[in-house]
Amino acid sequence: MSKKYVMALDQGTTSCRAILFDKDSNIVAVAQKEFTQIYPKAGWVEHNADEIWSTQYGVIAELLAKTGVSAEEIASIGITNQRETTVVWEKATGKPVYNAIVWQCRRTTAICDELKARGLEQAFRTKTGLVVDAYFSGTKAKWILDNVEGAREKAEKGELLFGTMDTWLIWKLTAGKVHVTDYSNASRTLMYNIRELKWDEELLAALNVPASMLPEVKPSSEVYGCTDAELFFGHAVPIAGAAGDQQAALFGQACYAPGMAKNTYGTGCFMLMNTGSELYDSKNGLLTTIAWGIEGKVEYALEGSIFIAGAAIQWLRDGLKLIEAAPDSEYFAGKVDDTDGVYMVPAFAGLGAPYWDMRARGAIVGLTRGTTKAHIVRAALEALAYQTKDVLGAMEADSNIKLQALKVDGGAVANNLLMQFQADILGVPVDRPRIIETTALGAAYLAGLAVGFWSSKEELAKRWQLDNRFEVEMAEEKRAKLYGGWKRAVTRSMDWETED
């Protein structure tokens, strides 16, 4: 049977998706399902890794059932995932020893403080391109080994495996035969040396994580193994690509040349700029990370990671119950011309780039008796744009490149009011592509290239199509005044949490 499709599995922070792409990069069908967010304590976030697997498997089954597509028609599968989220499981049984600790979780703040007190900050920074922050996998793995009864002993005997969600899904899809990750995901663990391309012994010793737990690190576009036929609807389909979701979005946006950048607005917001073979050492609070490994080489990116973006809109919906659905935010924000001086700093999980304050917490400031629901909703939306401006400023300063336009993607870019405000507050036009599911598209491209379904990145780059350009309409003076207010608001949220 001829191979007509590539399937992308997008294992995000709040939902699992399975998407079929045809040869012309069109989305044929999507199946998506949310899974449980577990908040055991303030600042802690967990996922049940078994639930993630069953949710992911469920959406694959749903996609095939609703399209009538046979697994045999799928040329390859590409995996993309929420990065850093850490699961440790038993090699023999496949049973996780603890819930997956999510990238947003702050429980390892004290471990990070201790690493800093031991003078290890610079070694981590130089070797991994990251900062010592609870965000990354290394301290999460250490926490599990330190806190789950018997875990360290088993790990030392080689009985436990570590993985981010790409590794977990590949292991599950191959019925426990393949334990791998790709360069982009490895570069988010705080354990991988991005210069020498190897798990770093000094860092592993500092974290007390045995190397035997770690997956083999592979290129982002390569056949890692095939799905277990019995499990996968009768067919052994090649799993041929994997990348962290933000790097996959960079790939899907066809940012293949140094200097090209994109910003993805999902749960968080992540701006990445391709820097090619060069590793930029950020002086402005950004991360250096691996974009992907492909065509026999590794390419790098500068990254500005914003922890809470669309999640602030979800909080308006689920926490405050101010809106019924995320798109309603546009309607309510549009009822007012501005926030009337109200700012929301959604530092629910501390602040990432460029501030890196694990103890920051959310704040709403500038409230008056005249503040309405519309002002608060608008302030939440505007916070996505202000945080992006913080990061773009750092990126331009680090790279010495002035962006002519910002390519955007992710669920929240459907919001036209947000996109217009983004262009206005950046003073740079914002380009929204026709396909905003670029994360999944990037994973599909990586997997399709590996099996010859598509021939080259150049062929794929030609497919990128603009949906809408949002031009700058705001005057410079107003922009400066609004942004000045944001900077003041941020200082109010910083260093707030006093207990770990």
Ligand X SMILES: O=P(O)(O)OC[C@H](O)CO
Ligand Y SMILES: Nc1ncnc2c1ncn2[C@@H]1O[C@H](COP(=O)(O)OP(=O)(O)O)[C@@H](O)[C@H]1O
Partner from ligand Y, ligand X, none contacting 246, C-beta within 5 to 8 A by type: ligand X
Q: Which of 82, 274, 329, 493 binds ligand X (CB under 6 A)?
A: 82
- Distance, in Å, from the CA atom of 460 to the CA atom of 304, rounded to the nearest integer, reads 26
3-class DSSP string for 195-208: CCCEECHHHHHHHC
Query: Where in 237-296 is the site for ligand X (CB under 6 A)?
Result: 244-246, 266-268
Q: Does 220 bind ligand X (CB under 6 A)?
A: no
Stretch that binds ligand Y, among 10-18, 174-182, 204-212, 270-278 (CB under 6 A): 10-18
Do the annotations mark residue 139 as ligand-binding?
A: no
Nearer to ligand X, 247 or 275 (CB): 247
DSSP string, 457-494: HHHHHTT--EEEEE---S-HHHHHHHHHHHHHHHHHHT
Cβ–Cβ < 8 Å for 103, 306: no
* 411 marked ligand binding residue: yes
415: contact with ligand Y by CB under 6 A: yes
- Residue 103 interacts with ligand X (CB under 6 A)? yes
Measured CA to CA, the distance from residue 230 to residue 443 in angstroms comes to 24
Q: Among 426, 122, 153, 102, which residue's Cα sits nearest to residue 268?
A: 102
Residue 34 CB, shortest distance to ligand Y, in Å, is 8
Shortest CB 245 distance to ligand X, Å: 5
Under rule CB under 6 A, residue 354 binds ligand X: no
Say how far apart CA 248 and CA 302 lie, in whole Å. Answer: 14
CA distance 173 to 169: 6
**Is residue 12 at the binding interface for ligand X, with CB under 6 A as the rule?**
yes
440 phi and psi angles, rounded to 5 deg: -65, -40
246 is in an annotated binding site: yes
User: Does the protein bind ligand X through residue 124 (CB under 6 A)?
Assistant: no
Is there binding between residue 83 and ligand X (CB under 6 A)?
Answer: yes
As measured in angstroms, the least distance from the Cβ of 326 to ligand Y is 4
Minimal distance, residue 92 CB to ligand Y, in Å: 33
Which of 6-14, 48-56, 101-109, 491-499 is the region at the interface with ligand Y (rule: CB under 6 A)?
A: 6-14
Stretch that binds ligand X, among 22-30, 44-52, 82-90, 191-199 (CB under 6 A): 82-90
CB atoms within 10 A of CB 102: 21
Q: Is 13 in the site for ligand Y (CB under 6 A)?
A: yes
The DSSP result for 4-43, as a single string, is -EEEEEEE-SSEEEEEEE-TT--EEEEEEEE---B-SSTT
348 touches 496 (CB < 8 A) = no
Burial 385-403 (b: 16+ CB within 10 A, else e): bbbbbbbbebbbebbebeb
What's the closest the beta carbon of residue 13 comes to ligand Y, in angstroms? Answer: 5
Q: At what angle do helices 310-318 and 373-399 cross, to 10 degrees?
A: 160
- Of residues 267 through 296, those in contact with ligand Y by CB under 6 A are 267
Site for ligand Y in 312-371 (CB under 6 A): 313-314, 326-327, 329-330
List 215, 266, 285, 352, residue binding ligand Y (CB under 6 A): 266
Tokens of 136: 């990354």
Q: Are residues 239 and 310 in contact, defined by beta-carbon separation less than 8 angstroms?
A: no
Residue ranges that bind ligand Y, judged by CB under 6 A: 12-15, 266-267, 310-311, 313-314, 326-327, 329-330, 410-412, 414-415
Residue ranges that bind ligand X, judged by CB under 6 A: 12-13, 82-84, 103, 244-246, 266-268
